[in-house]
Structure 1
Amino acid sequence: MRIEDFIKDEKSLTIIKKAEEFAKNFFEREGTHGFSHTERVLALCMHIGKKEGADLEVLALAALLHDIARPLESKGKIEDHAKEGAKIARRFLKGLGYEKTDQVAHAIEAHRFSKPPEPQTLEAKILSDADKLDAIGAIGIARVFMYSGEHGRSIEYSLKHFEEKILKLKDLMYTKTAKEMALERHKYVEEFIDRIRKEIEGEL
Protein backbone atom coordinates (compact mmCIF):
# COMPACT_ATOMS: atom_id res chain seq x y z
CA MET A 1 0.00 0.00 0.00
CA ARG A 2 1.19 3.51 -0.83
CA ILE A 3 0.07 6.17 1.64
CA GLU A 4 0.23 8.66 -1.24
CA ASP A 5 -2.73 6.88 -2.85
CA PHE A 6 -4.90 7.96 0.08
CA ILE A 7 -3.37 11.23 1.25
CA LYS A 8 -2.30 13.87 -1.27
CA ASP A 9 -1.48 16.87 0.94
CA GLU A 10 2.29 17.35 1.12
CA LYS A 11 2.22 18.75 4.66
CA SER A 12 0.26 15.73 5.86
CA LEU A 13 2.59 13.34 4.07
CA THR A 14 5.63 14.96 5.68
CA ILE A 15 4.39 14.48 9.23
CA ILE A 16 3.21 10.95 8.44
CA LYS A 17 6.66 10.04 7.13
CA LYS A 18 8.23 11.47 10.28
CA ALA A 19 5.84 9.40 12.41
CA GLU A 20 6.73 6.29 10.42
CA GLU A 21 10.45 6.73 11.01
CA PHE A 22 9.81 7.51 14.68
CA ALA A 23 7.69 4.38 15.10
CA LYS A 24 10.21 2.07 13.43
CA ASN A 25 12.78 2.93 16.09
CA PHE A 26 10.70 1.17 18.77
CA PHE A 27 10.81 -2.25 17.11
CA GLU A 28 14.02 -4.18 17.54
CA ARG A 29 12.73 -7.34 15.85
CA GLU A 30 9.77 -8.78 14.01
CA GLY A 31 7.09 -10.98 15.53
CA THR A 32 3.35 -11.02 16.08
CA HIS A 33 3.44 -7.34 17.05
CA GLY A 34 6.39 -6.21 14.97
CA PHE A 35 6.36 -3.27 12.59
CA SER A 36 4.83 -5.43 9.84
CA HIS A 37 1.69 -5.59 12.03
CA THR A 38 1.73 -1.79 12.16
CA GLU A 39 1.98 -1.60 8.37
CA ARG A 40 -0.98 -3.95 7.93
CA VAL A 41 -3.06 -1.99 10.43
CA LEU A 42 -2.19 1.20 8.55
CA ALA A 43 -3.35 -0.34 5.26
CA LEU A 44 -6.60 -1.52 6.84
CA CYS A 45 -7.17 1.91 8.38
CA MET A 46 -6.73 3.65 5.05
CA HIS A 47 -9.14 1.36 3.22
CA ILE A 48 -11.76 1.45 5.99
CA GLY A 49 -11.26 5.15 6.67
CA LYS A 50 -11.74 6.07 3.02
CA LYS A 51 -15.06 4.19 2.90
CA GLU A 52 -16.24 5.52 6.25
CA GLY A 53 -15.28 9.16 5.59
CA ALA A 54 -12.68 9.43 8.36
CA ASP A 55 -9.85 11.94 8.79
CA LEU A 56 -7.16 9.91 7.05
CA GLU A 57 -4.32 12.05 8.38
CA VAL A 58 -5.30 11.44 12.01
CA LEU A 59 -5.95 7.80 11.23
CA ALA A 60 -2.58 7.25 9.55
CA LEU A 61 -0.70 8.80 12.47
CA ALA A 62 -2.67 6.79 15.02
CA ALA A 63 -2.08 3.56 13.10
CA LEU A 64 1.67 4.14 12.79
CA LEU A 65 2.05 5.00 16.47
CA HIS A 66 -0.51 2.67 18.06
CA ASP A 67 1.93 -0.06 19.12
CA ILE A 68 5.11 1.92 19.80
CA ALA A 69 4.99 0.97 23.49
CA ARG A 70 4.19 -2.71 22.82
CA PRO A 71 7.88 -3.77 23.07
CA LEU A 72 8.04 -2.14 26.53
CA GLU A 73 4.98 -4.11 27.62
CA SER A 74 6.45 -7.33 26.24
CA LYS A 75 9.57 -6.77 28.35
CA GLY A 76 7.45 -6.18 31.46
CA LYS A 77 8.49 -2.54 31.79
CA ILE A 78 4.92 -1.18 31.56
CA GLU A 79 1.43 -2.60 32.13
CA ASP A 80 -0.55 -1.02 29.29
CA HIS A 81 1.07 -0.28 25.93
CA ALA A 82 -1.99 1.64 24.70
CA LYS A 83 -1.88 4.22 27.47
CA GLU A 84 1.90 4.53 27.40
CA GLY A 85 1.90 4.69 23.60
CA ALA A 86 -0.61 7.53 23.70
CA LYS A 87 1.68 9.47 26.06
CA ILE A 88 4.72 8.92 23.85
CA ALA A 89 2.78 9.85 20.71
CA ARG A 90 1.41 12.98 22.38
CA ARG A 91 4.92 14.19 23.26
CA PHE A 92 6.20 13.42 19.77
CA LEU A 93 3.35 15.13 17.92
CA LYS A 94 3.31 18.16 20.20
CA GLY A 95 7.01 18.50 19.55
CA LEU A 96 6.16 18.80 15.86
CA GLY A 97 3.47 21.37 16.60
CA TYR A 98 0.74 19.06 15.33
CA GLU A 99 -2.74 20.49 15.92
CA LYS A 100 -4.71 17.23 16.11
CA THR A 101 -2.55 15.54 18.74
CA ASP A 102 -5.48 14.87 21.09
CA GLN A 103 -7.43 12.99 18.40
CA VAL A 104 -4.45 10.78 17.59
CA ALA A 105 -3.66 10.13 21.26
CA HIS A 106 -7.25 9.15 22.02
CA ALA A 107 -7.33 6.66 19.14
CA ILE A 108 -4.11 5.04 20.39
CA GLU A 109 -5.26 4.88 24.01
CA ALA A 110 -8.62 3.35 23.03
CA HIS A 111 -7.47 0.80 20.44
CA ARG A 112 -7.42 -2.24 22.76
CA PHE A 113 -10.74 -4.05 22.73
CA SER A 114 -10.06 -5.74 26.07
CA LYS A 115 -9.32 -2.61 28.10
CA PRO A 116 -10.89 0.85 28.54
CA PRO A 117 -11.38 3.52 27.40
CA GLU A 118 -13.99 2.94 24.71
CA PRO A 119 -13.21 4.66 21.38
CA GLN A 120 -15.30 7.81 21.03
CA THR A 121 -14.32 9.11 17.59
CA LEU A 122 -14.69 7.54 14.16
CA GLU A 123 -10.91 7.40 13.80
CA ALA A 124 -10.52 5.63 17.15
CA LYS A 125 -13.19 3.09 16.21
CA ILE A 126 -11.53 2.40 12.87
CA LEU A 127 -8.11 1.89 14.48
CA SER A 128 -9.63 -0.54 16.96
CA ASP A 129 -11.38 -2.37 14.13
CA ALA A 130 -8.22 -2.57 12.02
CA ASP A 131 -6.21 -3.90 14.94
CA LYS A 132 -8.81 -6.62 15.53
CA LEU A 133 -9.09 -7.45 11.83
CA ASP A 134 -5.36 -8.20 11.72
CA ALA A 135 -6.05 -10.98 14.23
CA ILE A 136 -8.62 -12.69 11.98
CA GLY A 137 -8.35 -14.48 8.64
CA ALA A 138 -5.22 -15.90 7.07
CA ILE A 139 -3.01 -13.30 8.74
CA GLY A 140 -4.67 -14.00 12.09
CA ILE A 141 -4.01 -17.73 11.75
CA ALA A 142 -0.36 -17.08 10.89
CA ARG A 143 0.02 -14.75 13.88
CA VAL A 144 -1.50 -17.23 16.34
CA PHE A 145 0.92 -19.96 15.35
CA MET A 146 3.82 -17.52 15.18
CA TYR A 147 3.04 -16.50 18.78
CA SER A 148 2.70 -20.12 19.85
CA GLY A 149 6.06 -20.91 18.28
CA GLU A 150 7.67 -18.00 20.11
CA HIS A 151 6.28 -19.27 23.43
CA GLY A 152 6.55 -23.03 22.93
CA ARG A 153 2.81 -23.68 22.83
CA SER A 154 1.11 -26.65 21.19
CA ILE A 155 -1.32 -26.77 18.27
CA GLU A 156 -4.10 -27.72 20.72
CA TYR A 157 -3.33 -24.68 22.87
CA SER A 158 -3.49 -22.51 19.77
CA LEU A 159 -6.92 -23.90 18.86
CA LYS A 160 -8.14 -23.05 22.36
CA HIS A 161 -6.96 -19.46 21.79
CA PHE A 162 -8.98 -19.30 18.58
CA GLU A 163 -12.11 -20.34 20.45
CA GLU A 164 -11.57 -18.08 23.46
CA LYS A 165 -10.57 -14.93 21.58
CA ILE A 166 -10.19 -14.94 17.80
CA LEU A 167 -13.65 -16.27 16.93
CA LYS A 168 -15.27 -13.60 19.10
CA LEU A 169 -13.68 -10.63 17.33
CA LYS A 170 -16.14 -10.35 14.43
CA ASP A 171 -18.87 -9.33 16.88
CA LEU A 172 -16.73 -6.53 18.35
CA MET A 173 -16.35 -4.39 15.23
CA TYR A 174 -17.63 -0.80 15.29
CA THR A 175 -17.84 0.23 11.65
CA LYS A 176 -19.99 -1.20 8.86
CA THR A 177 -16.97 -1.70 6.61
CA ALA A 178 -15.02 -3.61 9.26
CA LYS A 179 -18.03 -5.78 10.09
CA GLU A 180 -18.28 -6.83 6.45
CA MET A 181 -14.57 -7.59 6.26
CA ALA A 182 -14.66 -9.50 9.53
CA LEU A 183 -17.36 -11.88 8.30
CA GLU A 184 -15.19 -13.14 5.44
CA ARG A 185 -12.10 -13.46 7.64
CA HIS A 186 -14.09 -15.18 10.39
CA LYS A 187 -15.45 -17.74 7.92
CA TYR A 188 -11.92 -18.55 6.78
CA VAL A 189 -10.80 -19.17 10.38
CA GLU A 190 -13.79 -21.43 11.06
CA GLU A 191 -13.00 -23.50 7.97
CA PHE A 192 -9.36 -23.75 8.99
CA ILE A 193 -10.21 -24.88 12.52
CA ASP A 194 -12.61 -27.51 11.22
CA ARG A 195 -9.95 -28.79 8.83
CA ILE A 196 -7.11 -28.92 11.34
CA ARG A 197 -9.26 -30.67 13.96
CA LYS A 198 -10.12 -33.39 11.44
CA GLU A 199 -6.44 -33.79 10.58
CA ILE A 200 -5.53 -34.06 14.28
CA GLU A 201 -8.12 -36.83 14.63
CA GLY A 202 -6.78 -38.54 11.51
CA GLU A 203 -10.00 -38.06 9.57
CA LEU A 204 -8.27 -36.42 6.60
Structure 2
Amino acid sequence: MTRPATLAAAFAPFHELADELLPHAFSGEDGSHDAAHLIRVWKNAARIRAEEGGDARQLAAAVLLHDCVAVEKNSPQRAEASRLAADKAWQILDSLGWHRAEISSVAHAILTHSFSANIPPETLEAKILQDADRLDAIGMVGAARCFYIAGRMGSGLYDPLDPLAEDRPLDDKAFAIDHFETKLFRLADGFQTAAGRRLALERQQRLRDVLTMVLDEI
Protein backbone atom coordinates (compact mmCIF):
# COMPACT_ATOMS: atom_id res chain seq x y z
CA MET A 1 0.00 0.00 0.00
CA THR A 2 1.29 3.47 -0.87
CA ARG A 3 2.33 5.40 2.20
CA PRO A 4 0.67 8.77 2.93
CA ALA A 5 4.08 10.47 2.75
CA THR A 6 4.38 9.37 -0.89
CA LEU A 7 0.88 10.54 -1.75
CA ALA A 8 1.51 13.85 -0.01
CA ALA A 9 3.85 15.00 -2.78
CA ALA A 10 0.84 15.18 -5.12
CA PHE A 11 -0.55 18.03 -3.00
CA ALA A 12 2.46 20.32 -3.38
CA PRO A 13 3.10 22.95 -2.20
CA PHE A 14 1.01 21.65 0.72
CA HIS A 15 2.78 18.30 1.07
CA GLU A 16 3.42 18.86 4.78
CA LEU A 17 -0.28 19.56 5.35
CA ALA A 18 -1.12 16.48 3.30
CA ASP A 19 1.24 14.43 5.50
CA GLU A 20 -0.82 15.50 8.51
CA LEU A 21 -4.26 15.04 6.97
CA LEU A 22 -4.00 12.00 4.70
CA PRO A 23 -4.12 9.51 7.62
CA HIS A 24 -7.57 10.96 8.42
CA ALA A 25 -8.79 11.31 4.84
CA PHE A 26 -10.46 7.93 4.35
CA SER A 27 -12.83 5.81 6.36
CA GLY A 28 -13.96 3.20 3.84
CA GLU A 29 -12.86 1.04 0.91
CA ASP A 30 -14.65 2.87 -1.89
CA GLY A 31 -12.40 3.06 -4.95
CA SER A 32 -14.37 6.00 -6.32
CA HIS A 33 -13.48 8.04 -3.21
CA ASP A 34 -9.85 7.05 -2.75
CA ALA A 35 -6.45 8.73 -2.93
CA ALA A 36 -6.68 9.00 -6.72
CA HIS A 37 -9.97 10.87 -6.35
CA LEU A 38 -8.43 13.30 -3.86
CA ILE A 39 -5.51 13.99 -6.19
CA ARG A 40 -7.82 14.61 -9.13
CA VAL A 41 -10.02 16.93 -7.07
CA TRP A 42 -6.92 18.82 -5.89
CA LYS A 43 -5.75 19.26 -9.48
CA ASN A 44 -9.21 20.50 -10.46
CA ALA A 45 -9.30 22.87 -7.48
CA ALA A 46 -5.84 24.25 -8.21
CA ARG A 47 -6.77 24.83 -11.84
CA ILE A 48 -9.93 26.71 -10.87
CA ARG A 49 -8.18 28.69 -8.12
CA ALA A 50 -5.53 29.86 -10.59
CA GLU A 51 -8.31 31.79 -12.34
CA GLU A 52 -10.68 32.56 -9.48
CA GLY A 53 -8.43 33.13 -6.44
CA GLY A 54 -9.16 31.91 -2.92
CA ASP A 55 -7.17 30.72 0.08
CA ALA A 56 -5.00 27.85 -1.17
CA ARG A 57 -4.21 26.35 2.26
CA GLN A 58 -7.84 26.23 3.32
CA LEU A 59 -8.76 24.76 -0.04
CA ALA A 60 -6.09 22.08 0.26
CA ALA A 61 -7.39 21.09 3.70
CA ALA A 62 -10.97 20.98 2.42
CA VAL A 63 -9.99 18.77 -0.50
CA LEU A 64 -8.01 16.41 1.71
CA LEU A 65 -10.83 15.99 4.24
CA HIS A 66 -13.99 16.33 2.13
CA ASP A 67 -14.59 12.56 2.07
CA CYS A 68 -13.16 11.74 5.50
CA VAL A 69 -16.42 10.06 6.55
CA ALA A 70 -17.64 7.39 4.15
CA VAL A 71 -21.38 6.81 3.65
CA GLU A 72 -22.42 4.39 0.90
CA LYS A 73 -24.44 5.74 -2.02
CA ASN A 74 -27.39 3.51 -1.12
CA SER A 75 -27.39 4.40 2.59
CA PRO A 76 -30.36 6.32 4.03
CA GLN A 77 -27.74 8.54 5.72
CA ARG A 78 -26.16 9.56 2.40
CA ALA A 79 -27.38 13.16 2.69
CA GLU A 80 -25.61 13.41 6.06
CA ALA A 81 -22.18 12.41 4.74
CA SER A 82 -20.85 15.93 4.19
CA ARG A 83 -22.08 17.12 7.59
CA LEU A 84 -20.37 14.18 9.29
CA ALA A 85 -17.18 14.89 7.33
CA ALA A 86 -17.30 18.58 8.22
CA ASP A 87 -17.68 17.74 11.92
CA LYS A 88 -14.74 15.33 11.78
CA ALA A 89 -12.62 17.86 9.87
CA TRP A 90 -13.35 20.47 12.54
CA GLN A 91 -12.03 18.13 15.25
CA ILE A 92 -8.93 17.23 13.25
CA LEU A 93 -7.96 20.80 12.40
CA ASP A 94 -8.69 21.98 15.94
CA SER A 95 -6.32 19.31 17.27
CA LEU A 96 -3.66 20.64 14.89
CA GLY A 97 -4.00 24.17 16.25
CA TRP A 98 -5.79 25.85 13.35
CA HIS A 99 -7.56 29.13 14.08
CA ARG A 100 -11.32 28.91 14.55
CA ALA A 101 -12.10 31.12 11.53
CA GLU A 102 -9.97 28.95 9.25
CA ILE A 103 -11.58 25.77 10.57
CA SER A 104 -15.02 27.25 10.04
CA SER A 105 -14.17 28.06 6.42
CA VAL A 106 -12.87 24.56 5.71
CA ALA A 107 -15.83 22.93 7.44
CA HIS A 108 -18.28 25.04 5.44
CA ALA A 109 -16.61 24.02 2.19
CA ILE A 110 -16.84 20.36 3.14
CA LEU A 111 -20.43 20.68 4.31
CA THR A 112 -21.60 22.27 1.07
CA HIS A 113 -19.60 20.28 -1.48
CA SER A 114 -22.06 17.40 -1.62
CA PHE A 115 -24.81 17.13 -4.24
CA SER A 116 -26.86 15.07 -1.78
CA ALA A 117 -26.65 17.69 0.99
CA ASN A 118 -28.11 20.41 -1.29
CA ILE A 119 -26.63 23.28 0.76
CA PRO A 120 -25.46 26.35 -1.22
CA PRO A 121 -21.76 27.25 -0.83
CA GLU A 122 -21.22 30.80 0.44
CA THR A 123 -17.45 31.26 0.24
CA LEU A 124 -15.12 31.18 -2.74
CA GLU A 125 -13.25 28.19 -1.31
CA ALA A 126 -16.53 26.30 -0.88
CA LYS A 127 -17.57 27.09 -4.44
CA ILE A 128 -14.22 25.90 -5.78
CA LEU A 129 -14.34 22.65 -3.80
CA GLN A 130 -17.88 21.92 -4.99
CA ASP A 131 -16.89 22.57 -8.61
CA ALA A 132 -13.67 20.56 -8.33
CA ASP A 133 -15.44 17.57 -6.82
CA ARG A 134 -18.27 17.66 -9.38
CA LEU A 135 -15.80 17.82 -12.26
CA ASP A 136 -14.65 14.37 -11.15
CA ALA A 137 -18.23 13.08 -11.51
CA ILE A 138 -18.51 13.96 -15.21
CA GLY A 139 -16.33 13.30 -18.22
CA MET A 140 -14.52 10.03 -18.85
CA VAL A 141 -13.52 9.60 -15.21
CA GLY A 142 -17.10 10.32 -14.14
CA ALA A 143 -18.38 7.59 -16.44
CA ALA A 144 -15.79 5.15 -15.08
CA ARG A 145 -16.74 6.00 -11.50
CA CYS A 146 -20.44 5.59 -12.32
CA PHE A 147 -19.89 2.07 -13.67
CA TYR A 148 -17.58 1.20 -10.77
CA ILE A 149 -20.16 2.29 -8.19
CA ALA A 150 -22.92 0.43 -10.03
CA GLY A 151 -20.82 -2.73 -9.75
CA ARG A 152 -20.27 -2.20 -6.01
CA MET A 153 -24.01 -1.68 -5.53
CA GLY A 154 -24.92 -4.75 -7.58
CA SER A 155 -26.64 -2.77 -10.35
CA GLY A 156 -26.86 -3.73 -14.00
CA LEU A 157 -25.29 -1.65 -16.76
CA TYR A 158 -28.64 -0.99 -18.50
CA ASP A 159 -32.15 -2.30 -19.00
CA PRO A 160 -31.81 -4.69 -21.98
CA LEU A 161 -35.39 -4.06 -23.11
CA ASP A 162 -35.49 -0.29 -22.63
CA PRO A 163 -31.98 1.17 -22.08
CA LEU A 164 -33.11 4.80 -22.46
CA ALA A 165 -36.11 4.41 -20.13
CA GLU A 166 -38.55 5.48 -22.83
CA ASP A 167 -41.39 3.38 -21.40
CA ARG A 168 -40.36 3.02 -17.76
CA PRO A 169 -39.26 5.27 -14.88
CA LEU A 170 -35.55 5.98 -14.61
CA ASP A 171 -33.98 3.80 -11.91
CA ASP A 172 -30.30 4.44 -11.26
CA LYS A 173 -30.25 1.95 -8.40
CA ALA A 174 -30.99 -0.81 -10.91
CA PHE A 175 -29.16 0.43 -14.02
CA ALA A 176 -25.88 2.36 -14.31
CA ILE A 177 -26.66 4.41 -17.42
CA ASP A 178 -29.90 5.67 -15.85
CA HIS A 179 -27.62 7.60 -13.48
CA PHE A 180 -26.41 9.70 -16.41
CA GLU A 181 -29.90 11.21 -16.72
CA THR A 182 -30.92 11.24 -13.05
CA LYS A 183 -27.79 13.06 -11.87
CA LEU A 184 -24.65 13.32 -14.00
CA PHE A 185 -26.06 15.36 -16.89
CA ARG A 186 -27.67 17.72 -14.36
CA LEU A 187 -24.38 18.59 -12.67
CA ALA A 188 -23.07 20.90 -15.39
CA ASP A 189 -25.89 23.38 -14.76
CA GLY A 190 -24.93 23.91 -11.12
CA PHE A 191 -21.30 24.97 -11.27
CA GLN A 192 -20.37 27.93 -9.10
CA THR A 193 -17.37 29.52 -10.80
CA ALA A 194 -16.74 30.67 -14.36
CA ALA A 195 -13.69 28.43 -14.65
CA GLY A 196 -15.62 25.47 -13.29
CA ARG A 197 -18.50 26.04 -15.71
CA ARG A 198 -16.15 26.12 -18.69
CA LEU A 199 -14.47 22.87 -17.67
CA ALA A 200 -17.83 21.28 -16.92
CA LEU A 201 -19.13 21.91 -20.43
CA GLU A 202 -16.09 20.16 -21.90
CA ARG A 203 -16.46 17.17 -19.62
CA GLN A 204 -20.22 16.90 -20.02
CA GLN A 205 -19.75 16.52 -23.77
CA ARG A 206 -17.32 13.66 -23.11
CA LEU A 207 -19.92 12.07 -20.84
CA ARG A 208 -22.54 12.35 -23.59
CA ASP A 209 -20.07 10.79 -26.01
CA VAL A 210 -19.63 7.83 -23.64
CA LEU A 211 -23.37 7.26 -23.50
CA THR A 212 -23.65 7.56 -27.28
CA MET A 213 -20.94 4.94 -27.76
CA VAL A 214 -22.50 2.59 -25.21
CA LEU A 215 -25.88 2.86 -26.94
CA ASP A 216 -24.25 2.27 -30.33
CA GLU A 217 -22.61 -0.92 -29.11
CA ILE A 218 -25.72 -2.37 -27.48
- Shared fold, TM over 0.5: yes
Q: Distance in 1 between matches of 2:97 and 2:58?
A: 14
Q: Pick from 93, 111, 114: which aligns with 2:113?
A: 111
Q: Distance in 1 between matches of 2:51 and 2:112?
A: 21
Counterpart in the other structure of 1:23: 25
Counterpart in the other structure of 1:3: 11
> 1:37 corresponds to which letter in structure 2?
H
Deviations 1:157-188 (A, max 9, x none): 11111011111111110001111111111111
Q: Distance in 2 between matches of 1:86 and 1:158?
A: 29
Counterpart in the other structure of 2:211: 193
Q: 1:162 to 1:116 in 2, by over 3 A?
A: closer
Q: Pick from 152, 175, 182: which aligns with 2:200?
A: 182
Matched, 1:172 2:190: yes
Q: Pick from 143, 153, 175: which aligns with 2:145?
A: 143
Determine if contact 2:41/2:136 at 8 Å carries over to the other structure.
yes
Determine if contact 2:82/2:117 at 8 Å carries over to the other structure.
no
Which TM-score applies when normalising by structure 2? 0.80
Structure 1 residue 13: deviation in Å? 4.7
Instruction: Provide the secondary structure at the position in 2 that maps to 1:153.
Output: coil
Deviations 1:139-164 (A, max 9, x none): 00100111111122112111111011
Which TM-score applies when normalising by structure 1? 0.85
Deviations 1:107-154 (A, max 9, x none): 001111232421100000111111111000010010011111112211
Structure 1 residue 76: deviation in Å? 5.4
Q: Distance in 2 between matches of 1:152 and 1:21?
A: 29
Structure 1 residue 78: deviation in Å? 5.2
Q: 1:116 to 1:43 in 2, by over 3 A?
A: same
Matched, 1:161 2:176: no
Sequence identity (%):
34
Aligned residues: 190
Counterpart in the other structure of 2:172: none
Determine if contact 2:140/2:210 at 8 Å carries over to the other structure.
no
Instruction: Provide the secondary structure at the position in 1 that maps to 2:116.
Output: coil
Q: Pick from 147, 152, 155: which aligns with 2:154?
A: 152
Determine if contact 1:50/1:56 at 8 Å carries over to the other structure.
no
Counterpart in the other structure of 1:82: 82
Structure 1 residue 81: deviation in Å? 1.2
> 1:148 corresponds to which letter in structure 2?
A
Root-mean-square deviation (CA, aligned residues, Å) is 2.0
Q: Distance in 1 between matches of 2:213 and 2:25?
A: 38
Gaps of 5+ in 2: 1-8, 159-174
Structure 1 residue ranges (4+ consecutive) displaced by more than 4 angstroms after TM superposition? 75-79
Q: Distance in 2 between matches of 1:16 and 1:195?
A: 39
Q: 1:95 to 1:78 in 2, by over 3 A?
A: farther
Counterpart in the other structure of 2:129: 127
